[in-house]
Amino acid sequence: MNRFQKTNFSESCFKFPFHKKNYLHRMKKVIIYTLLPVLMACGESGTKKMENAGNKVDNLEKSTETIQESKKKTAKKVFVLSTYDDPEQEERIKDHLNELRRLSDLGVFNQIHQKALLSLPSEQQAYFTANPQYSVLCSSKGDLFHNGKADYAFVVYDEKNNRFSILTYNKLKNNYAELYRDLKVENGLENANCNYSQFGMLDYILADEFIYQGDYLTKNPESYLEYPTCKIGGMKQDSDLILKEGCFSKKVDKSKLPIVLSIATSSVYNNWECLQYEPETNSFCIIYGQAFAD
């Protein structure tokens, strides 16, 4: 174009700006329509990520709680040995064993057994007739295994092994078992800060108390049955248990006291220890004890 050519200022100076405005407006629309779905997708993705993160935290907390509960249930129990099976006590209980053998030779256990057997149903009589090494010294019936059945517990003298034993009969399973050997026992009072202590496990204590009365029982063996040394029943219903004064295991819920096997730990005082069956481990735990004079 000739630089001296007349220029139409109305067209050359004003048309371009209007085109530029339209162009920018269109570009804004393009940018908005292009980025809006991306921004929305990012927002949804962020929300989902936050939800997923929240779910992961919740799941982690639930998983931690489950693990902790599982650890509590599967925590390794510490079971105690019968005094008769403890090699560290072998020398200490020699006199005890000699006295048991002497009383057995005198027929004291057998005389008690003959009378105790008569009070048992035929099913139980048949078992002890088939296992003559056992002399029944005490028996009790009740829902010991918490299955709604008539279970049994027995205190016996085992002539073959020259020791006292605590036997149980599980009616539902129709089987006999021996505490400390077939059915393990946990001492729940070990860390309960009880204000008393006594040497030996319950089977040994029963025998030691019998020996303590040995001279009298040699002359009057059947009198041993007048004061049962074992009983199955609810703790709250047992008038011999002075629960306000006794010692409970820390695991016991005192508002839900169970049916237990109570064992007398003295032939003179109103002293008892109570065992609860724990089906999770098929074992017993000593959950209560009392030791004081009447």
**% residues pLDDT > 90 (the chain):** 69
pLDDT tens by residue, 239-293: 999 999 999 999 899 999 999 999 999 999 999 999 999 999 999 999 999 998 6
What is the distance between the alpha carbons of residues 135 and 109, in angstroms, rounded to a whole number?
6
Statement: residue 137 has pLDDT above 90 = yes
Residue 264 shares a structural domain with residue 149: yes
pLDDT tens by residue, 2-19: 333 333 434 433 333 444
Residue 227 shares a structural domain with residue 253: yes
- Give residue 282's domain range: 78-290
Q: Could you tell me if residue 3 is inside a domain? A: no
What is the distance between the alpha carbons of residues 116 and 139, in angstroms, rounded to a whole number?
8
* pLDDT score of 155: 98
Dihedral in degrees, nearest 10, Cα atoms 226, 229, 231, 235: 110
Model pTM? 0.75
What is the secondary structure of 21-34 as a DSSP string? HHHHHHHHHHHHHH
Residue 141 shares a structural domain with residue 164: yes
What does pLDDT average to over the chain? 84
Residue 136 shares a structural domain with residue 28: no
Q: Could you tell me if residue 253 is inside a domain? A: yes
Q: Which residues pair with 152 in a beta bridge?
A: 141, 169
| Average pLDDT of span 198-225 | 97
pLDDT tens by residue, 277-288: 999 999 999 999
Residue 96 shares a structural domain with residue 162: yes
Q: How many domains does the chain have?
A: 2
* pLDDT score of 165: 98
C-alpha closest to that of 231 among 116, 157, 143: 143
Residue 198 shares a structural domain with residue 88: yes
